[in-house]
Structure 1
Amino acid sequence: MLRALVYVVPIALAIFALIDLSRSLPEERAGLRRTLWVAIIVLLPVLGPIVWIAVSRNSRAGSAPARPRPLPPMAPGRGPLRPPTRRPGPVAPDDDPEFLWRLEQERRRAAGEPPSEDQPPA
């Protein structure tokens, strides 16, 4: 079992580093091209992936607030997917001015107060 770890750990480390490299931003590569990083990771079995992980994590920690990385397109062969469009307007009912106006009118009716004269927001 321990003999297998000698082979499995470097391969898993290299695969992790290559996937992380493929998703990295140019600022995270310490000024080196992606192809040079691939060569370092592949040709230096344990040291290469460890160097990549250290360099990329250090540059991510030293940068401004964390930015989400763009996701790759999920439909291969069909071109890039468009980001989901959000419909304009409130997200939740309690952010909807018309809903809040109706709620206030119902509250007034239940309390026996006359409804307000103002119109619902447009």
Structure 2
Amino acid sequence: MVRFLPFLISLVLTVYALFSCIQTPDEDVPHLPKLVWIILIVFVPFAGPIVWLLMSRTQVSRPEAAVRRPASPSPARPTAPDDDPDFLKSLDRYRDPRTTVRPPEPEEQSKDSDPDTDADDGKA
């Protein structure tokens, strides 16, 4: 099994680099035409795929390559549901009025009347 490991690594690396090269737009292929890169990847084991992967990564990190790609639009809506006022309003539709916790109603007692003295006023 160990003697097949270099072959498997080379095969996986070649397939990955080949798909990467094929999917890359023609204007983003670094230094050589795409067909030359495909030939190098397929016929030069280890070195071809590794050079392609290194060169394509440095090509993408260049500033002029980033200018050609459109920037992703910023989200117009809040990203989290608890930040979205429309979502919070929609929760009221699903709330059961029987389970809604209401604040306690204030008792209607006057501040200057004492309950003990009110009972005595009727007897005297």
Q: Is the 8 A contact 1:28 1:55 kept in 2?
A: no
Once the two structures are superposed, the pairs formed by residues 1-122 of structure 1 within 5 Å of their partners are: 1-62=1-62, 63-64=65-66, 67=69, 94=86
Between the aligned partners of 1:28 and 1:5, the Cα distance in structure 2 is 33
Q: CA RMSD in A?
A: 2.9
Q: Deviations over 1:65-108 (max 9, x none)?
A: 6948xxxxxxxxxxxxxxxxxxxxx9x994xxxxxxxxxxxxxx
Point out where structure 1 has 5 or more consecutive residues left out of the alignment.
69-89, 95-122
Between the aligned partners of 1:5 and 1:32, the Cα distance in structure 2 is 31
**Which structure has the larger Rg?**
2
SS at match of 1:41: helix
Number of corresponding residues = 75
Q: Deviations over 1:17-65 (max 9, x none)?
A: 0100111022331142211111111111000000000010111111316
Displaced runs of 4 or more, over 3 A: 65-68
TM-score (ref. length: structure 2): 0.50
Identity %: 33
Between the aligned partners of 1:48 and 1:2, the Cα distance in structure 2 is 23
Between the aligned partners of 1:41 and 1:58, the Cα distance in structure 2 is 17
Point out where structure 2 has 5 or more consecutive residues left out of the alignment.
71-76, 78-83, 87-124
Between the aligned partners of 2:37 and 2:54, the Cα distance in structure 1 is 13
More helix by share: 2
TM-score (ref. length: structure 1): 0.51
